[in-house]
Structure 1
Amino acid sequence: MEGQQQVEQQIKSKAVKVDSVESWDSFVGQATNQGCPIVVHFTASWCMPSVAMNPFFEELASSFPDVLFLTVDVDEVKEVASRLEIKAMPTFLLMRDGAQVDKLVGANPEEIRKRVEAFVHSFRVYVS
């Protein structure tokens, strides 16, 4: 039960950093079981456009408390990045039921916000 509360607490927080394949699988599995949409930011510390998107991604995470926001450093968790065929940074994935439903490549805050808002709205319609 304690692990469940910890994951729920992390889901309620802002963007959560994924540090291993195991934590990725755990977060995605938990969110899928709870019917929670996921937005993922694939980043790299050496990629300045990607690093510049971090504060925006945090702010976006604060705007949607019922969505799980994950941050994945492609150099730290290479297996997840290659599994999802991430080729450029930053890349943003929108996921439902553990599957990718949308992918945006590049640092375009307006487009990302627009797509996330539409995705969350469609998810709420989909769930109800």
Structure 2
Amino acid sequence: MGQCFSKAKSGRADLEENVEFLGGNVHPVTSKEDWDQKLSEAKRDGKIVVANFSAAWCGPCRGLAPFYCELSEKYPSMMFLLIDVDELTDFSTSWDIKATPTFFFLKDGQQIDKLVGANKPELQKKITAISEK
């Protein structure tokens, strides 16, 4: 299982580095207002939110990104969000992110599960279990 604990690059990621993280039904969260809007939308539509706290410089995050996009297409009844911990540092800190990637599973804005690390089988297992509830 891969995890990143600190920055392993120099300089900030530019937008082009983040392109590979997006696709399918993955929605980027670029502000606290975005987050609030997406959670409100998910609650209204009765969707579970899968929030991926990630970083462009994190190898395991990059490796898992295509799989995360595939899952977002396979489970349209869920809302898949992507939060760049470098872009939203204060917000990520408020979620106590210690390693990337970290996934939170939310229902009606409340955490129902969590996964730390780029563990594809465990991510698939948790999403499958939650989607069947």
Alignment TM class, shorter chain as reference: 0.7 to 0.9
Q: Which runs of 4+ in 1 moved over 2 A?
A: none
Question: What residue in structure 1 maps to residue 96 of structure 2?
Answer: 85
- Deviations along 1:21-62, whole A, 9 cap, x unmatched? 110111011111221111111100111101111101000001
TM-fit CA distance, 1:79: 2.8
Q: Is residue 2:128 matched to residue 1:117? A: yes
Unaligned ranges ≥5, structure 1: 1-12, 123-128
Q: How many residue pairs align between the two structures?
A: 110
Instruction: Using structure 1 for the length normalisation, give the TM-score.
Output: 0.82
TM-fit CA distance, 1:68: 0.4
Query: What's the RMSD between the two structures over aligned residues?
Result: 1.1
Q: How does 1:30-69 map to 2 (within 5 A)?
A: 30-69=41-80
Q: Is residue 2:78 matched to residue 1:97? A: no
Task: Answer yes or no: is the 8 Å Cα contact 1:21–1:79 preserved in 2.
Answer: no
Match of 2:132, SS state, is: helix
Match of 1:53, SS state, is: helix
Q: Percent identity?
A: 39
Instruction: Using structure 2 for the length normalisation, give the TM-score.
Output: 0.79
CA distance in 2, matches of 1:80, 1:67: 22
